Amino acid sequence: MKTDMKRILLIAIAIMATGAMTDTSAQVFKRTKDGNKHWTDLPKPHKSINPTRQRPPAVSYDAASTVLMVKFPSNNNGSTVEVFRNGAKVAGITANAGTTFSCVLREYGVGNYNVIVSNGNTVIDAKKYTVR
Q: Give how many domains the chain has, as a whole number.
A: 1
| pLDDT of 126 | 92
Domain for residue 108, yes or no?
yes
Q: What pTM was computed for the model?
A: 0.58
| pLDDT of 44 | 60
Residue range 38-96, pLDDT digits in tens: 666 656 666 666 666 667 888 999 999 999 999 988 877 778 999 999 999 999 999 88
CATH number of the domain bearing residue 70: 2.60.40.3080
Domain for residue 118, yes or no?
yes
Which bin fits 98, alpha (ψ -120 to 50), beta or left (φ > 0)? left
Domain for residue 47, yes or no?
no
Domain for residue 36, yes or no?
no
| pLDDT of 32 | 67
- List, in order, residues 6 or more apart from 37 with CB less than 8 Å away: 29, 30, 31
